[in-house]
Amino acid sequence: MTLKLLTHDTLDPLRHGFFTRAGGASSGVFAGLNCGSGSTDQSEIVAINRARVADRLDVPPEHLLGVHQVHSATAIPVTGPMANKPKADAMVTATPGLALSVLSADCQPVLFADHKAKVIGAAHAGWRGTLDGVLEATVDAMEALGAKADNIHVVIGPSISQRAYEVGPEFFETHLAEDDASARYFANGTGDKMMYDLPGYGLHRLRSRGVASAEWTRHCTYSDPVQFFSYRRSVHERAADYGRMLAAIRL
């Protein structure tokens, strides 16, 4: 099976994509294109999957860059392959030939491009990182390389949707305590539970930062097990682990 990736015209003609689970070498709960080296999948198989992604992006495997994602608001500039993965959740670069990648399995994979300045970015934005400002930090880091917010186009890839993201009252209270504007991204659920619109909130934060455009592909990771891995779905199914999808962009 060939690799399947979702692209967006606002990021064209840059090579980019939100890869689905199609076309990978993994099996079992990881069946498909599991690119997560932090999973319990066989490391040799994950390396094969990542090499396939690198080939599709037309870069050598060592130029498919990633970070040690820790749900932070840290965005770092990169200029070449890194010996060790730093702890961060976003990268930016103005260096051609580097593919910036992030892993996700419900959290938002977010790709950024300023075509005029030739600066790109990639961010992993879960609820904590989004609330703490990882999306704005990515824009800030791109501006430090010469980009301008009102020239930056941003696309949020497959993420868990509001209809599948049930949270408790303490989660809602945490958001309100830190950003009262987040209230509109919650809807009533069952009992005292609420349904959280993570990509909607991500779009709000990006648009408030003044980017040229911000869109979501409108694919729900939880609701489509054929195409996407989902952490939350794996928990509900009591699976031993789960795969991670990869999103990437390169100059």
Query: pTM score, two decimals?
Result: 0.97
Q: For the chain, list the strands marked E by DSSP.
A: 5-6, 15-19, 64-65, 75-77, 90-93, 99-104, 108-114, 119-125, 152-156, 166-167, 186-188, 194-196, 213-216, 245-250
pLDDT for 1: 66
* Tokens at 32, concatenated: 């498909």
Identify the residue whose tokens are 């009252």.
169
Output the tens digit of pLDDT for each of the chain's 251 residues: 689 999 999 999 999 999 999 999 999 999 999 999 889 999 999 999 999 999 999 999 999 999 999 999 999 999 999 988 999 999 999 999 999 999 999 999 999 999 999 999 999 999 999 999 999 999 999 999 999 999 999 999 999 999 999 999 999 999 999 999 999 999 999 999 999 999 999 999 999 999 999 999 999 999 999 999 999 999 999 999 999 999 999 99
Domains, the chain, with CATH or none? 5-161+197-250 (3.60.140.10)
Pairing type for strands 119-125 and 90-93 reads: antiparallel
Count of alpha carbons within 13 angstroms of residue 58, beta-carbon side = 7
pLDDT for 83: 85
Could you give the CA distance from residue 87 to residue 67 in angstroms, rounded to a whole number? Answer: 6
pLDDT for 75: 98
Lateral strand order in the sheet of 99-104: 5-6, 15-19, 245-250, 99-104, 64-65
Count of alpha carbons within 13 angstroms of residue 48, beta-carbon side = 12
Task: List 15's β-bridge partners, or say none.
Answer: 250
126 close to 71: Cβ distance less than 8 angstroms: yes
**Three-class SS of residue 110?**
strand
Residue 13 gets the label, from left (phi > 0), alpha (psi -120 to 50) or beta, of: alpha
**Three-class SS of residue 41?**
coil
Could you give the CA distance from residue 167 to residue 161 in angstroms, rounded to a whole number? Answer: 12
pLDDT for 94: 98
Could you give the CA distance from residue 161 to residue 223 in angstroms, rounded to a whole number? Answer: 8
